[in-house]
A and B are shown apart, each in its own frame.
Chain A
Amino acid sequence: MLEETGIPEAGKIEEKLPSRERLEQGPVAVFECFTEIPCDPCYYSCPLEAIAEFQDINDLPELDFEKCTGCGQCITNCPGLAIFVLDYNYSEEEGVVRIPYEYSPLPEEGEIVLALDRGGEVAGEARVERVQYAEKQDRTAVIWLAVPKEQVLIVRNFKRMED
């Protein structure tokens, strides 16, 4: 259970995912935010108003998957680093998971890394497709990890090979 291990259980994750159809249509954000805490920056970060307005600052964010284009603005605006963008059909074989990342040094684009699941277990290898690190991201990088499609819903972190 999430409260006992820090790893959200499958049922909880399921509730946060878009439909299979939407997932296959193109990039989309998922909010792995399960606890009602006083926090609302994600709402203000979305240029498409895809996040429902908060009635109470403790509300959980509700994302309209149809409005979301997977632009990823919200990723680095989440203080909990709980937002990921999934691009299931990045290529024929691969999907991309965009991950908020606050470790140093950053990986290189093209680097092969070990993909980790929500429990930190190695799920396989991944390729760093892109490293976003703009000033406005305030030192939270966004790493695009290319992974086999079936791992798009599993991979949420990575570690570098030499570590």
Chain B
Amino acid sequence: MEKCELAIVGGGPAGLAAALKARELGLKEIYLLERDNFLGGQLVKQTHQFFGSHKQFAGIRGIDIAEIFKDKLEDQPEIQALKGAVAQGYYEDDVLGYSYRGKFFKLKPEKTILATGASEKMLSFPNNDLPGIYGAGAVQTLMNQYGIIPGEKILMIGAGNIGLIVAYQLLQAGIEVEAVIEATGIIGGYAVHASKIRRAGIPILTYHTIKEARGDEEVESAVIQKLNENWQPVPGTEQEMEIDTICLAVGLTPKVDLAIQAGCQMAYVAELGGDVPVRDENLQTSNSRVYIAGDSAGIEEATAAILEGELAAASAAGEIFPGNSAIAQERREIKEKLADLRRGPVGEHIRRGLARVRRNQNAGRDRYTRSWKN
């Protein structure tokens, strides 16, 4: 069994940033496990320029941020970045098992950073299992990663940032977007994203939901319906749209399987997307060997994920090299950057969620923590 200072699970923005920061702060034995055959996570399909700070990655397209990370990683032979390495389990003796090229390996890291990302939420409606009904991320994967047209005519459900951005990307790929519908009365995503697709003529219909999908072997149409202010369907407002693809952008939920296996105390925090590990301000979970970062710590966006990855790495490094004031300083600086990012009105729900997870209000609802970790 191999030992190492730090294992990072997940090669998306949080994991990549964590690996590079850990190396920068002096760690030498670093494993980065990525289940896909490529690094970058969801960055590889983000064709738009990022917001955030000019001093970080603002103004750079997500696809290019992925390349920047990959280039930096190539200069760091101490980081064992394994592509196609699937973490299979975190065991009670703090051993991380993973499969790689058809074989099973065991790794005993002093510290582990979980940066496993998120999965897309489904929505209940009749025939929601028909082929042609995809998560927004799946549509991005098809068109931006593989260059394949997901459909000819799309109905987008959800006007948060992902729904709006993917609608725009569909237009860029030359695909018709019939409408973006949103069940609440407010467009949740940034106004600039909404305006971009509005001025291209795409209607954004608030207080609208999908009543059902229709089709035999594949989706052939969708029935949408108005909702009133109490979110009740308004009879007689059903409208059938001929589309061949329905794209669901109705939120994400953190992927926390390994955190649960590691015995991390969990809490349900709606603002962060669901069950997340309870952690301190340095992203250390109740299992002191395990840190959490990025979307698996709470649904946010890539800029925050990058900073969280760096923070988790600095926290882990701080424990491996105790009393190192440069590392402590680094940690303070990253935390300041994160606070800046979350300070405005759009960061309000994240601040609320983080306050809740830190106060650990929902410990009583912890459904997972196993007794052997007490």
Contact = CB atoms under 8 A, between A and B. Distances in A.
A/B touching: CB–CB < 8 A: yes
Contact of A58 (B48, B50, B345): B345
A33 B192 contact: yes
B346 A35 contact: yes
Interface string B179-204: 00000011100111111111111101
Among B61, B193, B345, B347, residue most surrounded by chain A Cβ atoms (within 10 Å): B193
By DSSP majority rule, is chain A's interface helix, strand, loop, or mixed? Answer: loop
Given A4-B185, A57-B53, A40 B192 contact: no
A35 B340 CA distance: 16
B125 interface: no
A35 B59 CA distance: 17
Nearest to B304: A38
Contact of B199 (A2, A35, A157): A157
Interface in A69-105: 77, 79-82, 102-104
A44 B52 contact: no
B80 interface: no
Contact of A81 (B53, B174, B192): B192
Nearest to B194: A6
Contacts of A7: 195, 198
Contact of B190 (A5, A35, A116): A35
A56 interface: yes
A6 B195 contact: yes
Interface residues of A, number: 42
Contact of B196 (A40, A44, A81, A119): A81
B53 A36 contact: no
A62 interface: no
Interface in B249-273: none
Nearest to A82: B192
A24 interface: no
A150 B77 CA distance: 61
A15 interface: no
Interface string A34-59: 11111111011000000000001110
Contacts of B346: 35-38, 58
Contacts of B61: 138-139
B199 A117 contact: yes
A37 B51 contact: yes
A57 B340 CA distance: 7
A120 B200 contact: yes
Given A7-B195, A36-B345, A157-B199, A79 B204 contact: no
A37 B197 contact: no
A90 B362 CA distance: 62
Nearest to A118: B199
A119 to B, nearest CB: 6
A121 interface: yes
Contacts of B51: 37-39, 79-80
A131 B146 CA distance: 29
A8 B53 contact: no
B365 interface: no
A159 B200 CA distance: 8
A8 B191 CA distance: 9
Given A4-B187, A81-B192, A41 B198 contact: no
Contacts of B344: 36-38, 56-58
B101 interface: no
Given A4-B186, A8-B195, 17 more contacts: A6-B197, A6-B204, A8-B191, A33-B192, A35-B346, A37-B192, A38-B303, A41-B58, A41-B59, A57-B343, A80-B51, A80-B192, A82-B192, A103-B171, A116-B199, A119-B199, A157-B200
